[in-house]
């Protein structure tokens, strides 16, 4: 009589593992295209971090202090140098809990220097940088 219960248990266990694997596999790809003219041809930094509603009130200097300050911000998910003329790709594991912001620290920002991504995060974000700002973004939803 225990034999019929084993296949049922195995099917249930396999289904549970498949469900967990589906949840764990949720990632977001951020692709940054930085033409040669970006930031006057000088390297800049990108920071990706968890954020809350206070993002709109955060100044450029406050955000830069989170990346370059003496104490590292525990909300930072990624920091990358961006070299003009190159493309950078970052993959984030989506925790499904918080929004994310992507910051670009231009030498002389002129326009949009950050963007927010609301939860649920898209599957892919393609960001094209201009000379001193984010020029264009494209989101691909799941």
Q: What is the CATH number of the domain that holds 36?
A: 2.60.40.4150
| Nearest of 29, 54, 39 to residue 113 by alpha carbon | 39
Residue 19 lies in a domain: no
- Torsions phi, psi of 76, nearest 5? -70, 125
Domain containing residue 54:
27-140
Residue with tokens 């984030």: 92
Residue 66 lies in a domain: yes
Fill in the DSSP letter of residue 35: -
**Integer angstrom CA distances of residue 87 from 17, 41, 98, 117, 132:** 36, 14, 26, 20, 16
Confidence of residue 56 (pLDDT cuts 50, 70, 90): low
Over range 86-100, report the average pLDDT. 88
Residue 17 lies in a domain: no
Residue 108 lies in a domain: yes
For the chain, give the mean pLDDT. Answer: 83
Confidence of residue 6 (pLDDT cuts 50, 70, 90): very low
Residue 45 lies in a domain: yes
Residue 122 lies in a domain: yes
Residue 14 lies in a domain: no
Per the structure, how many domains does the chain have?
1
């Amino acid at each position: 009589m225990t034999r019929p219960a084993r296949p049922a248990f195995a099917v249930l266990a396999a289904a549970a593992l498949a469900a967990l694997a589906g949840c764990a596999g949720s990632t977001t790809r951020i692709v940054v295209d930085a033409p040669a003219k970006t930031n006057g041809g000088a390297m800049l930094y990108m920071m990706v971090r968890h954020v809350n509603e206070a993002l709109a009130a955060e100044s450029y200097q406050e955000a830069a202090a989170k990346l370059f300050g003496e104490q590292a911000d525990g909300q930072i998910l990624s920091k990358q140098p961006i070299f003009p003329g190159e493309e950078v790709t970052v993959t984030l594991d989506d925790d499904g809990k918080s929004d994310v912001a992507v910051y670009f620290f231009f030498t002389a920002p002129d326009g949009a220097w950050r963007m927010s991504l609301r939860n649920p995060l898209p599957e892919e974000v393609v960001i094209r940088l201009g000379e001193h700002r984010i020029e264009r973004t494209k989101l691909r939803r799941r």
